Structure formats: C-alpha cells, structure tokens
Structure 1
Amino acid sequence: MSNKINTRALISVMLCFFAMGFVDLVGIASNYVKKDLMLNDATANIFPSLVFFWFLIFSVPTGVMMNKIGRKKTVMLSLLVTIVALLIPIFGESFMIMLIAFSLLGIGNTLMQTSLNPLVATVVGGNHLASTLTFGQFVKAIASFMAPYIAAWGATQAIPSFGIGWRVLFPIYMAIGIVASLLLLFSHIHEEKSATGQGSSATVGRQFAECFKLLGRPFVLLSFIGIMCHVGIDVGTNTTAPKILIERLRVSLDDAAFATSLYFIFRTIGCFTGTFFLRIINNRLFFVISVVMMLLSMCGLLVGTSKLILYVSIALVGYGNSNIFSLIFAQALQNVPEKQNEVSGLMIMGLFGGTVFPLIMGLASDAMGQAGAVIVMAVGVIYLFTYSKNVK
C-alpha cells in the first residue's frame, strides 16, 4: 500500500466516526425515557443493554460479510440502518417504539464498529494506525458529548424542538448521518481482495469456526475481555453519572445531564491528546496511567458526596477510558495481521460488555443505591489494570 494518504477518504471515514458516536445518546436517552415512562433502574437499563446486545449477535457475521462485500459497502449499510433507527423515535416515545429504535441503533452501530476500524487500516495503516483510531474516537466523542446538550435544549425549549422535546436530537443526528453516507459513497477507497473471501471452498461455517478459533489465542481472548470491560465502564458511566448526581446532590435530570456531557468532554480531550501522546510515550506506560486515573475515579464515585469530588471523578474516568479501546484494538489487529477482519469482528463482539455491565449495575443500584453500580464498574477497571502487562 502506498504511503500517500487519501485525504478525501480519510475525511469521509472521520465523519463516519462522528456517526458512530450516535450510539452514545442511549445513556442520556434512557434517563429521559425512565423519567417519562416512570421506570425503575433495572428496567431503564434495558435500553443501553439492548443496544449493545446486538454486538454479540452480529459482530462476527459482519466480519464474515466484509470478506464478501468489502469494508466500504459494510459501512454504507451500517449508516443506512442507523438513519432508520434515528427516524423512528420522531413519531413517538412508547416503550415498544424506543425498544425498536435502540435495537436498530445497536445493529447499525455493530455493523459500523466492525467495519469502520478495518476501513481506517485500509486508508492509513502502518505505525499511524493506533493514533488515527484514537483521533477517530476523538471525533466520535464530539457526537457523544453533544447529545445531552441537545436533549436538554429540546426538553426546555418547546418551540425550537418542534414539539418533540428531548427527542429533537434524533432528527438532528439523522441529518448528519445522511451527509456522512453521501460523502463516503462518493469517496474512492481501494480495498485489497480478502484471502478468506476469495477461496471458493471457504464456507461460511468454516469462516465462523476460524473466527471463533482465534479466541484460543491467549492475547486475543484477553483483549476481547478488555474490550468488554472498557465498553462496560463507558456505557455504565454514561448511564449512571446523572443518577449519582440526582441521588447525592438532589438535582433535576436536566441539570444532572451535564454529568454525561462532562464525561464525554474529557473523553474527547483524552482522545485528542492521546493522538499525540501515543506517538511519543510508551504505549504500556500510557495505558497504566489511564487505568490509574480510572481507579482514582471509582474511589471518588463510590464515596464522594460533593459536586467537586463527583465532577473530578467523572472527568478522570472520561479521560482515563478515552484511549483504552484504541490501544487494545490496535494491539489485537497487529497480533494477528493476516486475520484483521475476523479479529475486528471478535473485538467488536466484546462491546457486548455494554449489555452485561448495565444489567448488573441496574440490579446492584436498585439493591444498594448507585454505589452498587460503581462497584460493578470498579471490577472492570481492576481487570484492565491486570491486562496492562500484556500491552507491548
């Protein structure tokens, strides 16, 4: 592959990263749905859990599909599904409507996360892959931290939000998704033929078996669990941070929504600065520093009762968790370079942690308050600390 970077293609995939960030609206959205439909924590947490459930089902099939139709076409399909998901909530807010919308959002995001990261490797590749993926996460984080602001604006400004309240964020993001689709459609990206897809005797069943067989490699398995913990902490903080403020500071949901934005603001800062740090700092050292910040955060979220302590804790976990995905994902891809599509499918399947963690956190918080949810996240942070010795 040429060292020359296709600038237009790079811009288009970065806008796709922005569209990838749409999935993070589920955190603040689930809080508004909980309020509007008067649900408990365990029931409300079904929504973020449902979004990430589809990563378990569709990640590996998407990796196989990429071998057949290519990475760009798979990303295009993901954008189409995402646009439909964002269209549905415009027409209502019933429990069933939101279940269908969040399911489609999860399916679209599964397709996108599985195919977009390898597509970046096609456009950039080489030693700049980790930093480019981190910059993509920075772009994604912009969409993530904008969602609570848009939702709060819609909830408090009846006329500008066209009478649909906080749900105004759905048509706004849908319009951006359409732009991303058109830009990618007209960007030329050269893809090498997949060796797996070329073999006429390579049945779909064999491809599935070869994909899951990669979990037999210790490093791939450890990375898979690491991704589960990363996204569990991410979705958990996204969903739980406003609840912690409501529980301990007695503020309204519209005011508590800032907690989600604060998390993503520092995730954005972390991704942006991480783009540079990953070029000059030892990857393992940077990983350890990030996890230590998250450990300190868990302590603050567990016992903190003042606004300052809670805000600092949310900022720490936002910054600390910002580069974990890119580091683990890049390490896994480079560990098995001849099976990048399959490894990508497995790593994105690890986002199923976004289903496991919120369900357990919902039960724990109903039983012992939001401190129970924090304890569940802390278990994930401890695992990441043990994983750090495997980072090259």
Structure 2
Amino acid sequence: MQTKNRGAVAGIFFGYFIMGLVDVVGISANYIKADFSLSDSISSFLPLIAFISFAFLAVPSGLLMNRIGRKNSVLVSFIITLIALIIPVAGYTFPAMLMTFALVGIGNTVMQTSINPLLADVVSENRLTSSLTLGQFFRSISSTIGPILVTSILLLTGNWKNVFPVYAGITAIATLWLWKSNITERQTNRNKSSYLSTLQLLKDRHIRILFLALFFFVGIDVGMNVYVPEFLQTHCKLPLQQAGLGSSLYFVARIIGSLIGAVMLLRYASGRIYLYTMAAGVITFTVMMSLPELHTALISIFIIGLVCANVFSILLSLALQHRPDKANEVSGLMIMAVSGGAIIPLLIGVVNDLTGGSTGMYILLICFLFLLSSAIYLRKSK
C-alpha cells in the first residue's frame, strides 16, 4: 500500500528521529555516573531501566495497537516521551533520572512497536525493508546528534542537562506533525490476539531465530553506545568529553551505513547483506579488542557502526514478511527483543567491575558470533 501524502510519510520518519532520543541514555549515563559517583554496576542500571520495559510492555503495546490503532499508539508514545524529558527540568536528582529513563523506555517501547507497522501502511511491500532502513537512518541521525549536542550544550551553558528541554521541544513538534497527518491504516484482525497467542509465535523456529538475533543485536547497539566512551578512556587514555564523542563516531557510521543500505537493499537480498556484514562485524570487533591503539579503535568503531546500520530493519522486515497476517503481534514480539539493550549492558558493567577494565566488551563479541550463526541459518533455510 502506498500513499501520495508525503507529509504523512515525513511525519513517520520524524517519529524515527524521536525514537533515537533513547540513545541519549548512553552519554547521559556517563555524566550521571560522574555527577553521583556511581560504580559501573550501578550506572548500568540506567540503560537497564530504559530498556527493560521492552521485555514487559512490547507485546501489550502490540495489543494496544489492535484497540486504538497504530497512529494513535505512536502519538501516545510521543506524549510519554515528552513527559519524561520534562522531569529533569523540574529537578536533577538520581531518582528523577531513573524516572526519566524509565518513561523514555516505556515511550520508546510503544513507539518502536507501532511505528514500524504504521510505516508498512504507507509503503509498498517490496520497499518495506529499504524504507525501514531509511527510518533507521533518521534514528541514527538523532543518536549521532545526542553526544555532540550534550557536549556542545555543556561548553556553551556549563550544564549538560539543558539538552532535555531542547529534546522536549523537538518531541512536541513531532507530536503535532503526526497528529495532523492523514493516514489510512491497513485493517487487521483486532479481536483475535492475546498476550499468550503472541508469545506462541515463538514456536515458529524462523521467528524464534529472528527474535534472538534482534535481542543480541540491540545488546551490541546499546553496549557500544554506553561503553565505547569507557573503552576509549581505559584503553586510549582519553578524557570523558573526548571519549564521549566515540559514541557519535559509531552513529555517524550508522548514518552512512543506513544510506548505503537503503540503496543496496533495493538491489540485493537482505539475507546476503546480513551474512556478509555480520562476518565483517566479527572480524572487526576481534581486531578492536586485540589491538586497542587509538587509531585502531576509532577505525574499528566506525566499521562496526557501518555493519550494524541495517541489521535492525533486516531482522524486523524478515519477521513481518514471514507472518504478514500477524503484523501487529509480530512487531510487538520483535520489539520485546529490544530488552537485550537492558540485559547485555548490565552484564558488561558487572564484568567490568569484577575485572577492573573493559573486559566486559568481549560479551559483544559473543553477540556478534550469534548473529553470524543466525545469518548462516537464515541463508540455508532460504
């Protein structure tokens, strides 16, 4: 299904930009850790709180779509995100930041569950993977701007927390834009789904492999965002303000990779691209951990960003195309896998505390190896 309403399409892509605001958790966690003198284990609870809602609320968000529609679900997610961003303006305390990150996570859960099926309503099926990749491009722009904006605001105002009212204003604009957009949603079987029936989709081996792959991929994505600054501090002796830009380097690479992917996915099979990029990811990450000089680390971070750029959209589109009759439920189930962004960074933080270094980053190598294995399975099953 396609629409001539370009304003609606633009409004949805603006939503992907708002989706990227959750990645401010990464750089914010480093500043909050310094402000409140937190350990790695304690500071890792910030991304845990932001992403754990995906484990519990993604499937209910899919069921919510069945009741109120996809566009209304996205609007609800924007409003929750807006409330979250206003909290730090009222008062900067550790409990307040926990509440902020929790609400950002809840809003992002509803947003990611509903915005992808909403995009599927306004693009043709043969362009879905490419369109989802383009959506991730806008998300990557937001994620890239985050650390740069935080550092710039810190230098200009002396207070990094002023980033929150800026983000709140952007979210308010996105909310009004989408609210004004006219979108005709594809009809689905809205009364035949439940939490249990959605989870039963995991009995399908194809869906199960895609679910686990997405779980480990988001663990890589959030783990890179949160721990690249610390990795550069411990291995390359960079101060936090410079090391924090390592996250931006990762997301700049994701922007470039998303643009390249949006074109390549129109010409080449997504499974083949997934296989080759994951093989490159395993090799590059191994090199980064083995040769942690500054130039090697920066080049490796950039390459990892490139190979990760299209993974989310590939996995999600493969799942949606496998069961188009259950698009809302599949979307909720797959977004549930985003909880990997809570579990994997927590494990990294615990290992780092136990070893006193950045040894926990090797957990991301294990994640890459699983993704490569899943890519091989998907190619063989095809």
TM-score where L is the length of structure 2: 0.96
Alignment of 1:337-376 (within 5 A): 337-376=324-363
Residues 30-88 of structure 1, C-alpha deviation per residue, up to 9 Å, x if partnerless?
Answer: 00101111111111111011111000111000101101110000000000000111111
1:282 pairs with 2:275: no
Q: For 1:323, which of 269, 294, 310 is the aligned residue? A: 310
Check whether the contact 1:296–1:316 (CA below 8 A) recurs between aligned residues: no
**What RMSD, in angstroms, separates the aligned Cα atoms of the two structures?**
1.3
Distance in 1 (alpha carbons) for counterparts of 2:26 and 2:288: 17
1:113 pairs with 2:112: yes
Residues 107-136 of structure 1, C-alpha deviation per residue, up to 9 Å, x if partnerless?
Answer: 000000000000000111310000000000
SS of corresponding position for 2:247: helix
Alignment of 1:83-102 (within 5 A): 83-102=82-101
SS of corresponding position for 1:279: coil
Residues 212-270 of structure 1, C-alpha deviation per residue, up to 9 Å, x if partnerless?
Answer: 11011001111110110110000000011000111122221111111000000001111
Partner of 2:161: 167
TM-score where L is the length of structure 1: 0.94
Q: For 2:299, which of 277, 290, 312 is the aligned residue? A: 312
Distance in 2 (alpha carbons) for counterparts of 1:97 and 1:4: 42
1:185 pairs with 2:179: yes
SS of corresponding position for 2:146: helix
Check whether the contact 1:298–1:374 (CA below 8 A) recurs between aligned residues: no
1:144 pairs with 2:138: no
Provide structure 1 residue ranges, at least 5 long, that are not aligned to the other structure.
none
Amino acid paired to 1:132: S
Q: For 2:221, which of 234, 250, 263 is the aligned residue? A: 234
SS of corresponding position for 2:194: helix
Distance in 2 (alpha carbons) for counterparts of 1:90 and 1:4: 39
Amino acid paired to 1:325: F
Distance in 2 (alpha carbons) for counterparts of 1:293 and 1:155: 36
Instruction: Provide the identity percentage.
Output: 35
Provide structure 2 residue ranges, at least 5 long, that are not aligned to the other structure.
none
Distance in 2 (alpha carbons) for counterparts of 1:295 and 1:370: 21
Q: For 1:244, which of 231, 250, 256 is the aligned residue? A: 231
Distance in 2 (alpha carbons) for counterparts of 1:309 and 1:370: 18
Distance in 2 (alpha carbons) for counterparts of 1:194 and 1:19: 26
1:223 pairs with 2:217: no
In the alignment of these two chains, the number of paired residues is 379
Partner of 2:48: 49
Residues 174-194 of structure 1, C-alpha deviation per residue, up to 9 Å, x if partnerless?
Answer: 111111101100100011332
SS of corresponding position for 1:157: helix
